[in-house]
Structures are given as C-alpha cells and as structure tokens.
Chains A and B, each alone.
Chain A
Amino acid sequence: AQSVTQLGSHVSVSEGALVLLRCNYSSSVPPYLFWYVQYPNQGLQLLLKYTSAATLVKGINGFEAEFKKSETSFHLTKPSAHMRDAAEYFCAVSDLGRALTFGSGTRLQVQP
C-alpha cells in the first residue's frame, strides 16, 4: 500500500520568495508521483509528474520537483512566488492499480 505525507497544511511566503512544499511518499513498488494544484471552486490541475525518466521534473508555471529515492521525497519548489500561485497543492502517488493516493494538501498563501 502506498501513502503520501505533506508536511505543513499551510505555507505562507512573500511574493518573490522561494516556494518549497514538502511531500514524502511510501510505496512498495517504484512510484509514479504527481503534484496537482487546486484553485478555489475548481478541480485539480496537473503541475508535473515523475515517471522515472528523470529525477528533476519541470512542470507548468515555473514549478519543479526532485525525486529523491533515498529520502522518499518529492518536494515541489518554485524560485519566485507570484500572487497567482496562491492555491492548494496536492502531492499524489499512483500504484499499479492506477488509483491516485493523495496527501492532505498544503494551502499556499502569498503575501504582497
């Protein structure tokens, strides 16, 4: 069985500051890992995914994530936060059954 832990339910940064959202996973098989973003009253939008092709994955809107097997982590980063990045972010792992197991989410607040 797989699981995902997102450290920090709320993260607040200043506009222009580094964004770091933490995700640790547990999986009995090589994982497929995803980051999704959810804006208020909307569904989930894929930011990026890891499928073992490269450990550093670049996504949309300037986000990237690094897969570290030794640390079982897949943290999401963005060098410079923008006001429009304020949203809830979910890390997810996919097992061989294709169902996504989500973390509890991290709400990112960007201060002007």
Chain B
Amino acid sequence: KAGVTQTPRYLIKTRGQQVTLSCSPISGHRSVSWYQQTPGQGLQFLFEYFSETQRNKGNFPGRFSGRQFSNSRSEMNVSTLELGDSALYLCASSLGAVQETQYFGPGTRLLVL
C-alpha cells in the first residue's frame, strides 16, 4: 500500500501571499490531520478532517483553513502568509477511530520570505 503523499515537498513564498498544500492519504483511510512543526513551537495540531467534515481544530488563526474531498484527499490553505508560518507541514492519515495510528507523510517545507 502506498503511504501518505504530500505535494509539493518544498515551497518558497513571500509575505502576504497565500499557499495551498495537498495531502493524499493511505488508501481506505478517511481521516486526515494536519500538523505544523517549527523549531520553536514543536509539533502542533492544526485540524482534522473526516468524511469531508472538519472534526477537530487546533489553536491556530483563521488564516489556516482546510478541506477534504470525497476521495479523502485533503488540502490546507494559509492566507496572508507571515514569516512565522515558515515550517514543516505534516499530514497524517488514519482509519479515524481514537486508538488508530496516524501515519505521517514526508511533509511540505514552507519558507516565507
């Protein structure tokens, strides 16, 4: 089975722009979660989607948004980019139950200049 894939792997943007990141989950997985990893804040939960509905949300500003499609693929969007948004954005997929393992993709590294 193919793992979680994320595109693009690297991205450079400038302040004020917006960006869209994509995540394709493992086949059969219906839950997709997004995490932000930075040296200062570590790994932080952004949001989770299950069956096209946002099921859980972390403590991030409204500039961060996401969606999930009927094939479980997910996108996250960050509008009005700030320098502090530079990070590794990780996507994880799972079957969706509480105890289910989340399998992570390789991440998208975003640099905001």
Could you list which residues of chain A lie within 8 angstroms of chain B, going by C-beta atoms? 32, 34, 36, 42-46, 49, 51, 90, 92, 94, 96-105
Say which residue of A43, A49, A92 sits within 8 Å of B107 (CB atoms). Answer: A43
Mostly, the A contact residues are strand
A/B interface sample: 20 pairs, CB < 8 A: A32-B98, A32-B99, A34-B101, A42-B106, A43-B104, A43-B105, A43-B106, A43-B107, A46-B101, A46-B103, A94-B98, A98-B56, A98-B97, A99-B33, A100-B35, A100-B45, A100-B92, A102-B44, A103-B42, A104-B42
> For window 41-79 of chain B, which residues contact chain A by CB distance below 8 Å?
42-45, 48, 55-56, 58
> Which residues of chain B have C-beta atoms less than 8 A from A45's C-beta?
104
Number of chain B residues whose Cβ lies closer than 8 Å to a Cβ of chain A: 27
Query: What sequence of 0s and 1s flags, for each residue 82-102 of chain B, a beta carbon within 8 Å of any chain A beta carbon?
Result: 000000001010101111111
B104 and A36 form a contact (CB under 8 A): yes
Cα distance A99–B48 in the bound complex, in angstroms: 8
Could you list which residues of chain B lie within 8 angstroms of chain A, going by C-beta atoms? 4, 31, 33, 35, 42-45, 48, 55-56, 58, 90, 92, 94, 96-107
Q: List the 10 closest pairs (A to B, CB-CB), nearest first.
A: A43-B104, A102-B43, A44-B104, A99-B45, A43-B106, A51-B99, A97-B56, A104-B42, A43-B107, A32-B99
